[in-house]
Amino acid sequence: MTMAFRTVKQALEDLLVANAGTGFKVVGHQRAITNIEQYQDGDTSGDGNRTLQVFSAAGDFPKNRAAGMSGPVTHEMTYRIELFVSRGTEGNLAALDAATDPTSRAAAAATFTSAARLVDNSFDEFVDLVYQILMDPQNRNLGLPWSGNTIISDRWLSGWTKDSVVGDGEIVGITGLMTLNLTVVEDINGDAIATPMTEGIDMSVSVNTDPTIGKTDETAPVAGNILAKA
């Protein structure tokens, strides 16, 4: 039987996928960002490219909240929701191309909004979207049935952080983290216990009884003696 914290993680991903719409994408585990441009999908809606990933980060089993050695056991879980946003600089390129003197070029350049400012605002909106989804009273149990060990309690988004902007120029990116805490109950049913070994472990040691192995041939001529007699 799958432990509840694994079931909850999948439910969390499913809930975010179902509510993502055009605001962001939920992706699986993948390697760290190596090229910001690969995340810029040419979206001109103003939302840019926003993705998130869900990881189980930590779990505690408070002894004073357990029913006994055989369970059920309270499991206080922490999930890490990693966010990434990329944006490009926006402005009127046609006006910039058509500018013929310093004054008109300066005026055209002033209409551009830097990628750093856009990505920062987009990230803030991303946090807003995810928070509203996860803390919506209708999503209190993350879409799981209200029965057995899938009943969630103490659901709480405890905070979020934003990292520095990555990249410089036309396309930049920014990463961040949201932390979700919740509590479930784990049953101990023994399904995952390995089958006991029925055969003993061979602890015998092979001992060499041949007296000639490992000894040098004392009758063999020594190179130095041969040269001396020559």
Q: What is the model's pLDDT at position 161?
A: 96
Question: pLDDT tens, 213-225?
Answer: 655 555 555 444 4
Which of 33-37, 145-149, 164-168 comes out lowest in average pLDDT? 33-37
User: CB neighbours (10 Å) of residue 198?
Assistant: 5
Using a 10 angstrom Cβ sphere, with 0-12 exposed, 13-18 middle and 19 or more buried, the burial of residue 80 is middle
Nearest residue to 180 (alpha-carbon basis) of 125, 229, 228, 142: 142
Nearest residue to 154 (alpha-carbon basis) of 117, 121, 191, 180: 180
For residues 190 and 188, which has the higher predicted lDDT (pLDDT)?
188
Domain range summary for the chain, segments of one domain joined by + = 4-186
The whole-model pTM stands at 0.67
Nearest residue to 159 (alpha-carbon basis) of 134, 177, 182: 177
CATH 3.30.70.1700 fits 4-186, yes or no: yes
Q: Name the amino acid, one letter, at 9.
A: K
Nearest residue to 134 (alpha-carbon basis) of 47, 8, 50: 8
